[in-house]
Structure 1
Amino acid sequence: MKVLVVGGGGREHTLVWKIAQSPLVEHIYCAPGNPGIAELAECVHIGVEEIEVLRDFALAEQIDLTVVGPEVPLTMGIVDIFQAAGLLVFGPNKAAAQIEGSKGFSKDLMARYNIPTAKYQSFTDHAAAVSYILEQGAPIVVKADGLAAGKGVVVAQTAEQAIAAVDDIMLDQVFGAAGSSVVIEEFMDGEEASFFAFTDGKNILPLASSQDHKRVNDNDEGPNTGGMGAYSPAPVVTDALYQVIVETIVKPTIQGMAQDGCPYSGILYVGLMIKDGKPRVVEYNARFGDPEAQPLLMRMKSDIVPVLLACARGELTQDRIEWYDKAAVCVVMASGGYPAAYAKDLPISGLDKAAEIKDLMVFHAGTTLKQGKIVNQGGRVLGVTGLGDSVSDAIKTAYAGVALISWDQVHYRRDIGAKALNR
């Protein structure tokens, strides 16, 4: 069969790498792809938002399955357009993708179906938002309602910081139309974890646990990013807690979406805050997390393609995934200055040396080819991912790879996985 993967980041490189291992697959296309993906798939120069062009390509090439990586084409309705053309596609349709595309939509869903989360209110009026902050006090969380590439969330320690965030989002429109409405939530403390489940809109197939590191600097300091590293499994998610998450969060979410007339198919990401053994939802995403996909798919023993096909067809009957009895750790190497401005087109060295390390994969995210050299192009550039018999071993493997790779002003955290060791 022929598979098309839409996207060009670290998540898509990981998906292509995993899909390429399936005996069912003869050829993989990736649009637009990146230099790392190009070693495994045929890269096609079509952007992720060029939905009609992607559809026409899939029809012309007789693509058997399209797998959509990023959130933007999902919220634009790529799944609806592909399905209308009779194409099989993995991911939620436009109505269901609102679970990520609108914070207000997802919070209202949780309220309707008693899914544990922080108390909140949504605002389209700036003055009302400010008076709510003054009434509630700090710490408090301010979120742009729409998509903001993982950066539209401010955890304010003071009321002044929260009001400044509302000003930035609603008045200065730093996230554009995504900030026409804001959601203001109570602050939740605890330990974060990421939970994923495949679903066909009715049945669910949960994945192993993982944990992301959102802040740009060590010890969870600095601004939020799209993610600076991740590991799996996450010891904070015990076997008992795993079942609680499935029963009180994942199942009611999928059942609630179906009941509301927008059944959710694809992969559901649930960002969790865990305190005193109790999970609450921080946010949903309508796709694989990046960088959580990297350690999760490195650990997955089962063929991913039958699962993707079953979800896309609405026929998910598989009830378990086989995992390697190993841990995996992904360290994101980023451009200096990220998540703010950064220099681009800086040549990256050491990729060939890192490729020789056993149980290590370097997934490309923000790279491109310039004059025959691989250079940095995005904020998050590489996801250096190591496998090991324990989290400690996986950390050593990942950082051994990181030590060999460099470019001018490279930045990465040095404490990815430390929380797992501390447990």
Structure 2
Amino acid sequence: MHVTFLNRQALYLRPDPARVIVRPFKPATEPRDLNPTDKTRANHIVERVLRLDKAAAAKQLADVLENFEGRHRNLLEAFEHRANDMEDALVAHCTFSVVQRQLIGAYFMHEYSFEASALFNPSIVPHPDQSGTPTGGVRFILSLRAVGEGHISSLTFRAGTVAADGSIAIEPTARLASTPRLRTRTPGPIGDEVEVDFNPGQDISERVIFPVTESQSNGIEDARFVAFSDGARTTYYATYTAYKGTAIRSELIETSDFLSFRMSPLQGSAARNKGMALFPRRIDGRFAMIARQDNENLHLVYSDDLYRWDGGQAIMKPQFPWEFVQIGNCGSPIELDEGWLLLTHGVGPVRKYSIGAVLLDKQNPAKVLARSSEPLLQPEPAEREGYVPNVVYTCGAMRHNEQLILPYAVSDSFSNFATMKISALLQAMS
């Protein structure tokens, strides 16, 4: 099948190393692991700051602000918070002045270019605020996986508009970037649940969710957002892969406004791997997921508990040469009159990643009605080079009128968009 109905756009979203956040700098070990009676490197730094006279300390802090204040919001507040975090881990000192506390906080922070290496694996949902949208159009939020130094992944966002004719526009990206405030941390049987929030005055593109728990310490990867309808209420959920360097697991993030977020670990045998995607509504009163707990096939999993997923039924296995290595979902199923449209990815020879599609029965999603025998989207010559060559990938598309809006990543490096008529897509499936 030669796909003629798919239209690639020229909306390249590339990583920008100039976008930075401030993060804790840990010169020895984690502060909570420091023995208060030990003369650690951290304590040596504090002692050097305290030896500065009042004028020298004020000058040094002024120099820091001159260099960095225009690159971040509320920098002195961030320094204060960092000093508070360090306080219990340090050998007892005399009372710090405000300037000393802020300067000490500065010495234990560093800039991190969170998208210096890659900006990829996007998903897309309607924006919760549709005010000002042109007639026949829709505003959307795009989530993206950003990768910086040390291959640490975080979650970042963009906003844009799809016009009535299907043309796509991305809103300008904010110059600054910020991480959220940690509001609560609740220990659980398999890990912490946390709640974070952003200042409402921050642009959506300014908001960066960086790892905040041990299970996420090396990355928040591949968030698959979906607008979940439960009666009159819409909640935005996303499954994502939490990576701590030695292990992975599926976790869930939820929000109603993209300002406040709750992140929770998922329990159960089906949540031990990556690539879970939630259906946008309950089916027969139960939550439903597409999952790939065996690293090879697609499973349908039901649950009465949104945070626990066990078992599952294999509904698709690799069938065509372009997917012989493995298959997986490319985001949450999209509800059509004809059934559930599920985008898939397949891995073929030389680990080439392509995107396909399957149509599932609306009442019984375990039943496959049609399936693309050839890829809908595969790397073109100009899309083969990047951090991971020969890959096109998405974490979720969105229906707008009779078109499918498909953001996709190119070779784990940058992102673009494609559009296609849903009727043509269904006709091409067998």
What TM-score do you get using the length of structure 1 for normalisation?
A: 0.27
More strand as a share of residues: 2
More helix as a share of residues: 1
**Structure of greater relative contact order (alpha carbons < 8 Å, 6+ residues apart):** 1
